[in-house]
Each structure stands twice: as C-alpha cells, then as structure tokens.
Amino acid sequence: MTDDKPAKSPPKARSKPQAGNKKEKKRNPSAKAPHLPNRRNTYIAFILILSAVIAGWKFYLGPKLSEPFSPQAAFNVETVGKPKIGGPFTLTDHNGRTVSDGDFRGRYMLVYFGYTFCPDVCPTALTVMSDALDLVGDKADKVAPIFITVDPERDTPEYLKAYVEHFHPRLLGLTGSPEQVAAAAKGYKVYYSKVGDGYDDGDYSMDHSSYTYLIGPDGEYVAAFGHKTDAEDMAKKLEKFL
Ligand code: NI
C-alpha cells in the first residue's frame, strides 16, 4: 500500500508538534486516573465525543486528503451528466504498436493506471480486474482490459509485455513518452508522483491513485472501481452493461 496513499502523510507529519503534545499529556494526569464515578463518566463521555469527532473528520476530510480523485465526490459535484473522466490518449502497446483511445470505440475499456515495480497495490488491482473478466465469461470479450504505466522510464514495451501476461492473456500494457503518459493520466484524473529518487541505488517508487475505470463503447465514462471492489463485485457491475 505504500505507494498509493502516502500523499497525505508527509504534510501531516511535518506539521505535528510532537513535543508539545507529550508535555500537555503529562500536565493533565486526571485523564489517566478516573477514580470517582463522576470523573469517570466525564472521561467516558469525552472519549465518545472524541471518537465521534475523529470519525466525522475522517469521513469528511479523509477521502479528500488521501485520494486525489473520488468517484463519489465527482458524482456529488457534477449536477449534469457524468464526471469527465477518460478522453483521448496516444500510447505504445506492449508489442510496440501505436495505440489510441479511438481504437477501442465499440468496445468497453477497463483502464488501470499503475507501474510494474509496484509492490502490491497494482498487482492486486490487476488480479481483481482479470478475475472479474473470467467470472463474466464470454461477454468479457466486449471489454478491453488496459494497463497504463505511470512509470514509462522503466516500463518499456518489453517489460510491460512480460508483466501483463502474468495477469490476463488479453491485458494490454500501454506506455509512451512522459508527455504522452501525463496526457493520458490527466484525462482520467489520475495522480502520480515519483518518490525516493536520488538515493544511492537510484531506486524509486511511484505514488499513484488506484481506480479501475470502465469506459463505454462511445468513449464515455461509465464507472470507477476503488480498492475495496473485489472480483465478484466488479463482475456483477460489468454484467449489467454487457
Ligand atoms: Ni501501484
């Protein structure tokens, strides 16, 4: 998970006054010793209120901080029509051919942005996508499963070819110039960022948002699936359209 949700942690960590908090806790020993019934009730009430506040804060702010794009938020904001997700791209597939979004008109596209060095988030998402297509069966032929790398520096067509074959025989890996990848990601409102470059070993990872997008035969956005969608859920949703 390290690569997909760290957007929220660095700014928070920097702004936390750690030492100040510790001092305040020491100065307030009453919270630690709820001997009297009254004080205990107050303490319990305080904890309950605090929990509610934290839960509420996470509910309202959590998704905004951790996820650059939220389908729910997009739906709430858009009052007319569907979120503007998708759009044109020109990339190179894992066989070295130039591919554009227009090549997929007439079929659905299941699109996931990630990178092959991703430790677990991308493999999980691609496994869910592949399993869902298998569950749907023959109708899944109407769907083009597509993996677009956000790490074109390392994900060459050759590298992508070996990678996508692990997941599904029809999964198409797409890469391109940094500019081409950036343009594709922009259309899908995908966030990505290089992390850790500059270490001695030159190693780095990519932060990136993690949604699987269903695009219709007309090229219009249909749905987005988040982390918690399992293969059965995705298959059910796909079957509604196919
Ligand atoms: Ni990933």
The alpha carbon of 143 and the centre of ligand 1 are apart by a number of angstroms equal to 22
DSSP state of 140: G
The alpha carbon of 209 and the centre of ligand 1 are apart by a number of angstroms equal to 8
The alpha carbon of 192 and the centre of ligand 1 are apart by a number of angstroms equal to 10
Residue 107 CA to residue 145 CA, distance in Å, equals 10
pLDDT tens by residue, 2-22: 444 444 444 444 444 444 344
Residue 213 has pLDDT above 70, yes or no: yes
Query: Domain spans of the chain?
Result: 6-66, 90-241
DSSP state of 92: E
Helix (H, G, I), strand (E, B) or coil at 138: helix
The alpha carbon of 25 and the centre of ligand 1 are apart by a number of angstroms equal to 39
The alpha carbon of 235 and the centre of ligand 1 are apart by a number of angstroms equal to 22
First and final C-alpha spacing in the chain:
32
In contact, 207 and 115? CB cutoff 8 Å: no
The alpha carbon of 67 and the centre of ligand 1 are apart by a number of angstroms equal to 14
| Per-residue confidence band for 55, with pLDDT thresholds at 50, 70 and 90 | low
> Cβ of 157: how many Cβ atoms within 10 Å?
18
Report the pLDDT averaged over residues 232-241.
Answer: 96
Question: Which residues, 6+ apart, have CB-to-CB distance to 185 below 8 Å?
Answer: 113, 148, 150, 191, 192
The alpha carbon of 175 and the centre of ligand 1 are apart by a number of angstroms equal to 15
Task: Provide CATH code, domain 90-241.
Answer: 3.40.30.10
Q: Dmax of the chain from CA atoms?
A: 75
Nearest to 108 by CA among 209, 229, 240: 240
